[in-house]
Amino acid sequence: MTYKEVYLDNSSTTFMDPKVLDTYYETMKKYYGNPSSLHQLGVESEKKLKEAKSIVANTLKAKPQEILFTSGGTESNNIAIHGTINAFRNRGNKIITTKIEHPSVLEIFKYYESLGFEVIYLDVDESGVVNLEQLKTELNRETILVSIMVVNNEIGTEQPLWEIGQQIKANNPLCIFHVDAVQGYGKIDIDLLASNISLLSLSSHKLHGPKGVGALYVKDKLKIAPIMLGGGQQIGLRSGTENVPGFYAMAKACEKIFANNKQDTTKISKLRNYVWDKIKGSTKDALLLTPLDYSAPHILNTAFRGLKGEVLVHALESKGVFVSTGSACSSKQQGTSHVLKAIDVPKEYIEGAIRISFSRYNNEDDVCYAVEKIIEAVNELSLFMA
């Protein structure tokens, strides 16, 4: 039997927008000069690079010189966290994050914990919302960095950025606030100034841009330390010849995301809610893990009692539907999701979670087909668990 193919793993990665792909090819063919070269080809590439920074900056209401292009979200997070700690370690040795961050943040915090830094991993409630009272208690003059993702990559919870930023500002104005916005950028409103954000990480392949490209917003005049040394490109924070085609293609992808932002997020939110309503009404023992009222519109995480998420993912794959068990960056590792542990998912559900994530390219027909196959697979597998 030939099945329709429906891709609902957009939080892991997205396919490139065809027009962005065209832009990538054209830029690669025409702007091959090194942006650091003095001749005309180099100058033209440099102009393209500046244009790319200007486009991304506009989406954040920032300045072009505040945008640093990187190889993706992991590098952006590494530059932000290592750079802050190495620049300001003379101010104190306390750093704060949450228990549900991406591994590209948690692993750095574990590293500094091993070096003797005081590391606080904030609790979250059953919906994944950070404990603001605990944050307030832990902030003091020794705190040099708070790093919190705005949208959780597994369950979609949106954090109260404004409240977090205001608490930091009120309790330690010198503390740097870094936000991992890889899953939230283009999906929810982010106000850098109002939320007191100094550093913000982005990733191109989450928004229909090329893989291996990302960006970091660095607040004007903030002097963080570089984590690699070389030719001093990009204000000395990211040495190395710039990937002009990749950066420009990412910028065009960012521009497209914001061009139809409200329309697309409304559509995606309706598709997500439809899927949950159908699952809830047609399967036994489904548990909703995404807080629909305060989450990004593109992520739905649900768990089925007694089932294995990995088995369900492969059962759906055989029917042409592609979802995931959680973060793609850790899905092949053994063990239970640290995010689901942190929100205290009951043990009979914790291994049965799947993440269904949408993009603007999903339509009603695709989603109707997918949810039919999800219900079918869950009910088939449940027979073996009875």
Q: Identity (one letter) of the amino acid at 175?
A: C
Q: Are 271 and 325 members of one domain? A: yes
Q: Are 292 and 203 members of one domain? A: no
Q: Are 10 and 54 members of one domain? A: no
Q: Are 202 and 279 members of one domain? A: no
CA distance 341 to 220: 38
Q: Which of 240, 256, 272 is the last residue of a domain?
A: 256
Q: Which pLDDT score is estimated for 364?
A: 96
Q: Are 154 and 275 members of one domain? A: no
User: Tokens 């070096």 sit at which residue?
Assistant: 115
Q: Are 321 and 6 in contact (CB under 8 A)?
A: yes
pTM assigned to the model: 0.95
Domain membership of residue 377 (yes or no) is yes
Q: Are 157 and 44 members of one domain? A: yes
Q: Which of 237, 256, 275 is the last residue of a domain?
A: 256
- Catalytic residue (choose from 175, 254, 329, 368): 329
Domain membership of residue 125 (yes or no) is yes
Q: Which pLDDT score is estimated for 332?
A: 55
- Which residues 6+ apart lie within 8 Å of 346 measured at CB? 287
Nearest to 183 by CA among 364, 2, 359: 359
Q: Which pLDDT score is estimated for 214?
A: 98
Q: Which pLDDT score is estimated for 333?
A: 57
Give the pLDDT means over successive 10-residue stretches in the chain (386 positions). Answer: 90 97 97 96 97 98 97 98 97 97 97 98 98 97 98 98 98 97 96 98 98 97 93 92 97 96 95 97 94 96 95 96 75 76 95 96 96 95 78
Q: Are 129 and 271 members of one domain? A: no
Q: What angle do CA 298, 58, 11 make, to 5 degrees?
A: 20
Q: Are 78 and 208 members of one domain? A: yes
Q: For residue 281, what is the domain's CATH number?
A: 3.90.1150.10
- Which residues 6+ apart lie within 8 Å of 187 measured at CB? 151, 265, 296, 297, 298
Q: Are 235 and 347 members of one domain? A: no
Number of domains in the chain: 2
Pairing label, strands 94-98, 321-322: unpaired
Domain membership of residue 378 (yes or no) is yes
CB under 8 A, 24+ apart: contacts of 16-19: 16/208, 16/209, 16/210, 16/249, 16/253, 17/208, 17/209, 17/253, 17/256, 19/252, 19/256
Pairing label, strands 214-218, 67-70: antiparallel
Domain membership of residue 1 (yes or no) is no
**Which DSSP letter does residue 188 get?**
B
Active-site residue flag, 329: yes
Helix (H, G, I), strand (E, B) or coil at 296: coil
Q: Which H/E stretch holds residue 60?
A: helix 40-60
Q: Which pLDDT score is estimated for 3?
A: 80
Q: Are 43 and 178 members of one domain? A: yes
Q: Are 11 and 44 members of one domain? A: no
Q: Which of 188, 222, 256 is the last residue of a domain?
A: 256
Q: For residue 252, what is the domain's CATH number?
A: 3.40.640.10
Express each pLDDT in 148-183 by its tens digit.
999 999 999 999 999 999 999 999 999 999 999 999
CA distance 5 to 152: 27
| Residue 353 structural domain | 6-15+260-384
Q: Are 172 and 33 members of one domain? A: yes
Count of all residues that appear for the chain in the document? 386
